A = this chain, B = another copy of it.
């Protein structure tokens, strides 16, 4: 009964390439070629196939195509979290770039957990991704061997060099904070505090912290341990709390360096709450230049991370790599200092 062809089925059998071939009166092989390499098929025949596709509403089964061709046209990306706008923006640009080139994006977030990252990469590989986009340059030790074993083209992002040999597209985090720190030194600051989200594995933040330390060391400033507060997540709440302990530890601090904007905005808000005037009593800087940075009170001095450009280039380069083209191994984008109103000259001890 269920086989009675006069009864409409809930899910009509999906039309397949064989149906198209039959309707166009060509072989399966020719139908396939007409779709994938139209230039090698005679015009009249190609037309017939195209008409049949149209008429039957054929949509190719990419899993089958992938299985036989070895190309899935899927790219996998894994970011620490989408809650950080810097990654959300990058992913958005990445997806746009991939879609424009006929690729679809498999996305996962690791929540800064290398093991979770590894698991997700495994899943991606099982799904036969053609390429992979990572963030940063520190991974579970099993990650890179796994990727190499599968021979999947991979790029990493938000850093501009990779000790792991992956093509990198991003900024020089250490150099950027070095520049930022020098800027504060030039404003006369000598008493620094740092809020760094380095409690969780995060090589970008570590590099930023190193850049700050280097600039201070060059200026002859040694940083006591209690001047650096490590927080786990780049959240406003953590920044707020960190400012408290920093000022408790050392009330002489006149400048607070943060490894990202969310934390800096939290610090700003807490400083205001306890009656510190910014930038008169205290200068605070962030990193990332996410939208919130321009809207805080006062607007935050920070470093711009070109997330859209990173995502855009990651898509472009990765697809090139998949197609066997050569791509640059280190792509360093500008990370400009954005001076707003959260920084000023150091309060002079009269």
In the bound assembly, the distance between CA atoms of A151 and B72 in angstroms comes to: 22
The smallest beta-carbon distance between A20 and chain B, in angstroms, is: 14
- From 237 to 283 in chain A, residues with beta carbon under 8 angstroms from any chain B beta carbon are 262, 265-266, 269
- From 263 to 308 in chain A, residues with beta carbon under 8 angstroms from any chain B beta carbon are 265-266, 269, 291-292, 294-297
Q: Which residue of B lies closest to A295 (CB)?
A: B265
* A59-89 vs B, Cβ < 8 Å mask (1 yes, 0 no): 1111110110000101000000111010011
The smallest beta-carbon distance between A286 and chain B, in angstroms, is: 12
In the bound assembly, the distance between CA atoms of A227 and B61 in angstroms comes to: 51
- From 292 to 339 in chain A, residues with beta carbon under 8 angstroms from any chain B beta carbon are 292, 294-297
- From 143 to 167 in chain A, residues with beta carbon under 8 angstroms from any chain B beta carbon are 149-151
Q: Which residue of B lies closest to A296 (CB)?
A: B295
Query: Is A108 located at the chain interface by the 8 A CB criterion?
Result: yes
* A117-143 vs B, Cβ < 8 Å mask (1 yes, 0 no): 001101111111000000000000000
> How many residues of chain A get a CB closer than 8 Å to chain B's CBs?
56
Which residues on the B side are within 8 Å of A115 (C-beta)? none
In the bound assembly, the distance between CA atoms of A54 and B83 in angstroms comes to: 36
Query: Is A224 located at the chain interface by the 8 A CB criterion?
Result: no
Oligomeric state, in number of copies?
2
Query: Is A109 located at the chain interface by the 8 A CB criterion?
Result: yes
Question: Known interface pairs A85-B83, A265-B295. Does A60 touch B108 (Cβ–Cβ under 8 Å)?
Answer: no
In the bound assembly, the distance between CA atoms of A206 and B170 in angstroms comes to: 39
Which of A8-16, A40-48, A180-188, A207-215 binds B?
A8-16
Which residues on the B side are within 8 Å of A85 (C-beta)? 83, 85, 88
Query: Is A347 located at the chain interface by the 8 A CB criterion?
Result: no
Question: Known interface pairs A91-B82, A149-B12, A151-B10. Does A126 touch B60 (Cβ–Cβ under 8 Å)?
Answer: yes
Query: Is A92 located at the chain interface by the 8 A CB criterion?
Result: yes
Which residues on the B side are within 8 Å of A107 (C-beta)? 91, 95, 105-107
Contact B72 A63 (CB under 8 A): yes
Contact B92 A236 (CB under 8 A): no
Contact A88 B99 (CB under 8 A): no
Query: Is A175 located at the chain interface by the 8 A CB criterion?
Result: no
Question: Known interface pairs A67-B67, A88-B83, A88-B85. Does A106 touch B108 (Cβ–Cβ under 8 Å)?
Answer: no
In the bound assembly, the distance between CA atoms of A297 and B290 in angstroms comes to: 17
Query: Is A104 located at the chain interface by the 8 A CB criterion?
Result: yes
Which residues on the B side are within 8 Å of A109 (C-beta)? 92, 95-96
In the bound assembly, the distance between CA atoms of A104 and B92 in angstroms comes to: 18
In the bound assembly, the distance between CA atoms of A107 and B150 in angstroms comes to: 23
Which residues on the B side are within 8 Å of A266 (C-beta)? 295
Which residues on the B side are within 8 Å of A67 (C-beta)? 61, 63-64, 67
Contact B59 A128 (CB under 8 A): no
Contact B61 A128 (CB under 8 A): yes
Closest 4 CB pairs of A and B: A297-B297, A82-B88, A11-B151, A88-B88
Extra pairs beyond A83-B85, A262-B291 (10, CB < 8 Å): A57-B149, A59-B122, A63-B66, A63-B127, A63-B128, A74-B127, A92-B109, A105-B108, A292-B292, A295-B296
17 contacts between A and B (CB under 8 A): A62-B128, A64-B67, A74-B127, A82-B91, A82-B92, A83-B88, A88-B88, A91-B107, A99-B108, A99-B119, A99-B120, A104-B106, A104-B124, A104-B127, A105-B107, A106-B107, A296-B297
